[in-house]
Amino acid sequence: MNILDIIGPVMIGPSSSHTAGACRLGLLARGILGQEPMAAELLLHGSFARTYRGHGTDLALLAGLMGWLPDDIRIPKAKEFAAAAKLQYEFETVNLGELVHPNTVRFRLTGKEGAHCQVTGSSIGGGQVLVSAIDGTPVELTGKLPTLLVPHKDQPGVIAQVSSVLATHGVNIASMRVFRDNKGGRASMVLECDQALTPDMLAHVAEIEAVTAVRFIDRVL
């Protein structure tokens, strides 16, 4: 951690964990959905569930889903803007278990173009966030760098093919993590890159036979 992690982000308060972090989780969930949300079910766990009204967590999550940054002065009026944008939403308090971080939200999202996704993420302190599951598959996604998410069939050679496409386009991979349900089943690659990816690059990755989807999530920190 550096001094800015300790001080916290530039934000609309009152809490870096409950507002800035929540806003970034909304941004990541929107990026994972890949389109503007039209309906959102937000399941709040632990501290998020107990204090979300007082700390403005509900406002910050909606702000992120609308594409706003944590320092956006409109955050206190997020519900008014959500209504104007016809974003349907519902908050529910849940218990996701003792092993889940206390500042956790599970999004169930529907996009305006028909996409669906479920995203579980936590605000882990100082405005930092971690997405831990997408559509039931474990991942680790922080939003610190432009990120390519590649769900795929677990089979030999897929990682090499994706890496080759990025290398051909001059994209440097800062980190890569691969998660799978079981051998030969569903898997996901999370590749943090040094630069944003263009639609042309994403199209080339999507052409790989074992790849089932391609999602690009820009940095939110």
E strands, the chain, in order: 37-45, 88-94, 103-111, 116-125, 128-134, 137-141, 147-153, 173-180, 186-193, 215-217
pLDDT at residue 152, as a whole number: 95
pLDDT in tens, 62-101: 999 999 999 899 999 999 999 999 999 999 999 999 889 9
Instruction: Please indicate whether residue 27 or residue 4 has the higher confidence score (pLDDT).
Output: 27
CB 133 within 8 A of CB 147: no
pTM of the full predicted structure?
0.85
pLDDT digits (tens, 9 = 90+) for 179-192: 988 899 999 999 99
Interval 111-139: pLDDT, tens: 999 999 999 999 998 889 999 999 988 89
Phi-psi region of 13 (alpha: psi -120 to 50; beta: other; left: phi over 0): beta
Identify the CATH number of the domain defined by range 147-217: 3.30.70.260
Q: How far apart are CA 110 and CA 163, in angstroms?
A: 30
Return d(Cα 92, Cα 32) in angstroms, integer.
21
Q: Specify the DSSP class assigned to residue 150.
A: E
Superfamily of domain 3-135: D-3-phosphoglycerate dehydrogenase; domain 3 (3.30.1330.90)
Letter string b/e over residues 163-187, b meaning 16 or more CB atoms within 10 A of that residue's CB: eebbeeeebeeeebeebbeeeeebb
Q: What residue spans define the domains of the chain?
A: 3-135, 147-217
CB atoms within 10 A of CB 25: 31
Q: Measured between alpha carbons, how far is 216 from 2 in angstroms, rounded to an integer?
A: 27
